[in-house]
Structure 1
């Protein structure tokens, strides 16, 4: 696997443009290699790791480097004795590239965090000390990345370490405690950690080396790789769409074959002529025995074969390759334009998050998805993302879920989610009729708002109402006491949007 990447003139390039054909091929190759990592055995692991080190030392864009790092982590988790044997000498190499060192720090930290419990403390004792000097590196990216990863290791494994009573051990523990506290509380470290914690907190090398992990949606890092985040869903959807057409085509072909007047006598003659040609040593094309070619087809194949050295086949292949390269260039331009449009849409989103985890009916969820996408909300929260695959949902949402970040938060996790968003600077507003709720037309929405919707009949539970910053209700003039939750949510989203537009 590794030598293919090392020896390929195209895939070993270090200077290439983002989203170019070379970039895209590199990503595809390393995605495939990550999936195949489980099949690396003892007899080839030395050659494979040698190749991965060559590739890690080269300059590569982040979308490629992430798969190199994931592949290396998976290898060291499978062969734990190789981690110290290969990584420590690299950390001691004073001439190592800073970009490569950042990757190796990430690899070592994740080997520590995700290794089996029986070897985890050993990895910690062996791999953490050579990483610590990079906390003082003059290279900003290496220093900042090391701070993030050392904090992650210490915050997770510090409680498991057993303190010793010797004076040296107490001194060493105090030093690490001071370092841990600094990394946890320093404002610059906190700001840097917040900017990347969406990836670091959820990174799982075992899941990242599988097809679902590679193609899973990551709304918080839409540029994490250069393939569309919904590619897996679109492949499945495409296969489902064409399967029925394929079955129909096979059925039609079967009928055609049954109705065709097959010249049995001619077929026998064709068989005899082919046998004669074999006996006389003439060159023929190989074919399946169950398929008997017509005489004309055989003669055409023979003529093509005898002219094989004339270059006709080469010209045909060259023309096909040329057409494929032209298509590749067109695809590059289209992909770049689409990514630019997606980035523009992302930047223009409003800072409004609609929490619909309590909403159960599919038509309401689909309608809310469509509403949030139309008014460019920052995201929609649902209890179960599998609802996005429902046929009724898709019929109502008309693909809105493909353009709107949708987050899964189960009902029993809603309170924790709201508290976390409040810590991020959002105001948590409930759409509910309560004793202290304010009329919607008199309420001024904060710029950063989390809008909580209740259940279809019961509304928002009391325990959630108690943690809200405010409640708003829609003034009503009729006899019926409430509106449908989708309608209510749409009205509230529009009111927020109207207020934001008036502030411009």
Structure 2
């Protein structure tokens, strides 16, 4: 069994390295890696290595398995609780993972559907059920150790990647803290005290304070831990940034102690000296919290202090503004995923406390008020030059100075453009697989529209773009819109007068002529099946496609419109239709990797093929029928426009793909079934790779 598992893991690793970008391959990998076969006993080391590799690839912005694998993985963890403690490294990767910003921007995935959020919710459910101890006993110390290392490295700049990592780490600790035991809290407290004294920004400190309060919660309260906390407050040279956090953590357990507890006096003795600190924030927090404790508990020996704090009107006004410091806090609720997901996102997709956003908003309002009070013209921002004037940046005389300047805080955050062609030669890019769609733009004469269509065509790898004249490529207006796309997509010239003959030639080559136009017989986009090879004809601005060209078309498609103008720009219309064609085509491409395992009509196969089906199902390799496959994809990818993928389209596509791929692979499947010396499951896994290569080549 162990040898078979190792062989399968090796095969899956090969497929993952080469084809992880394909949606269908991701589903195959998820199905294999979450089968009970791997959890009968403790999963082998190779399994952990592969899963960690997948998670690291997701966290580095690579092609993500998150939408498929992570939910299945967490579901499997819930069923095999005895193995939870063995997967602490995997959970650490998930909890610290940063979802790619591009994915969030494009798909608008809500936070509770992202891998990190799913993992936080899973751990929270384990804590609620009381079954998380085996995982938390190892996970929380590891996260604390990682948090300590993070604070000692990288820049401390708002919205930097380093600060985002710290935020995610402490958010994970806050969620896990709800499952702390008294013993685990005592074990973690010394390291926490080291962390709280390190330099961190306010958003990180918010979560540090919550975690510290959880460590000192009533059921976990330890006199020795509390004394260790107060000892830090008694250090005269303590950092002005650390003291407010220590004060807020130290006052929290006093809400649940008895009135005669010695901890009350110990807190006042340690906290009140900071009411004379040079930092305004430290003085404020100390005065507010000391007065609150004195009001709550009767302590005659401190009446002189209470009278002073209560009688001074300026201190009383300041105390009213800071009333939130004295509110009793439900830290369990604040550390829940519900509270976490309700926080706003910063531009790195990290959740940040609302109180910080309020402070930022208040500061911005003050700055704007100051701006207008000094009679600055409101339109200055609009007329500001976009290019820096000479002297704006320091002159850099040599490479050493440039390196120093580049590593400074001014360059801690910058925009990164993803250029996939940088790693490839131009010849490789030119010979990449293209979509079987030709865009006919001979009737389009406005250069911005032509440039935009060229850019869209290059992005989606259309076969070629046909224009009225190739001279447009030299025009600056065209270049400013196409942004060099004309260098990477094939363009062909066809004047409007020669367009009918050109369309007839395309039709002879097997292309269906499709026009984007509103006609009596036009079909609505979303309710039409696209032909496999398509020549998309775009009309003139305002005038549309001439009648003589419409008569030549096989199909006219119109985009449903609900506004008043009811006339989309030709570039926008063409881009929408190209995307619809590509999305449907990509969806059908994904079927190829499954259908060669599709033996839905088992009566038409021989005994060996039927046995092979049983073998595949025994080891958890899904044997899909066409309709099962469609439903599975709809469930996984949550297709919103289901009508666009009607049953007739699927039946036609599935049958066609099934015939072509099965005819090519059936001899190989029979050979593997006859071979007794080679692990069958290993060979079948490699067939996933072979089936996809077959599709790419044919």
Tell me whether the two structures share a fold, i.e. TM-score over 0.5: no
TM-score (norm 1): 0.44
| Structure whose alpha-carbon radius of gyration is higher | 2
TM-score (norm 2): 0.33
